[in-house]
Amino acid sequence: MVEELFKALADPTRRRILDALVERDGQTLFEICGRLLAGGSALTRQAVSQHLAVLEAADLVRTRREGRYKFHDLNTEPLEHVVTRWLRPRPPESTP
């Protein structure tokens, strides 16, 4: 799972998608494409969909269906897990 997380975060387009979801959670593919286009990224919907699939595999994005629409929500739990893994308090060092 950690490898998928780092793979997902390694790509700047996927990080821009995450940034778009931070600004407003629960966006459709069409809305995400529009935000990326406004930010200067001219990607096809198929390309954005493939990036979303990688983010979903890393559990950074979760999808839900409402009628015929599919909404994408940011999930920060994997990031929190990785960060806390290395930021745990260390036991005090013993002095001789």
- Domain range annotation of the chain: 2-86
Tell me the per-residue pLDDT of 60-89, one tens digit each, with 9 for 90 and over.
Answer: 999 999 999 999 999 999 999 888 887 766
CA 52 to chain centre: 8
User: What is the amino acid identity at position 54?
Assistant: V
| Whether the Cβ atoms of residue 1 and residue 9 lie closer than 8 Å to each other | no
Work out whether the CA dihedral 47, 48, 51, 56 comes out positive or negative. Answer: negative
pLDDT at 41 over 90: no
- 3-class SS of residue 78: helix
Q: What is the mean pLDDT of residues 24-32?
A: 95
Q: CB neighbours (10 Å) of residue 61? A: 23
* ∠ CA 28-65-1, rounded to 5°: 80
Q: CB neighbours (10 Å) of residue 3? A: 8
Which CATH number describes the domain made up of 2-86?
Answer: 1.10.10.10
Share of the chain above pLDDT 70, in %: 94
pLDDT on residue 96: 63
- Average pLDDT in the chain: 90
Gap between the Cα atoms of 48 and 73, Å rounded: 15
Q: Give residue 95's pLDDT band: very low, low, confident or very high (50, 70, 90).
A: low
